[in-house]
Amino acid sequence: GETRTCHGVGVPSLVCFLNKVDAVDDPELLEVVELELRELLNFYKFPGDEIPIVRGSALSALQGTNEELGKKAILKLMDAVDEYISNPFTCS
């Protein structure tokens, strides 16, 4: 839904956060999910092979329980936004 909506309203670029990775024990399953996400992005005419996909856990970030999947993942997401989104939206 969100990917189709982004494309439909003309969002020029985006980054993805693959959330709740702390709930998945199988790293191969995460790889499959990421590959399917990239295919979905390509289907909706986004450069799926180029878009940064950051894995993490928003809940871990909020609770401070798993620094690698929480705080560090959110910081990595913000770095990806800064690097990949060339002209962020501004309100005037």
Question: What distance in Å separates the CA atoms of residue 44 and residue 55, rounded to the nearest whole number?
Answer: 21
Residue 89 lies in a domain: no
8 or 41, greater pLDDT: 41
DSSP symbol at 23: G
The pLDDT tens digits of the residues spanning 27-50 come to 999 999 999 999 999 999 999 999
Give the domain range for residue 79: 2-84
CA-to-CA separations, 45 to 10, 11, 17, 18, 51, in angstroms, rounded = 11, 11, 19, 20, 12
Question: If you average pLDDT over residues 76-83, what whole number do you get?
Answer: 95
Residue 26 lies in a domain: yes
Residue 44 lies in a domain: yes
Please report which confidence band the pLDDT of residue 86 belongs to, taking 50, 70 and 90 as the band edges. confident
pLDDT attached to residue 72: 98
CATH number for the domain that contains residue 36: 3.40.50.300
Residue 91 lies in a domain: no
The count of domains in the chain is 1
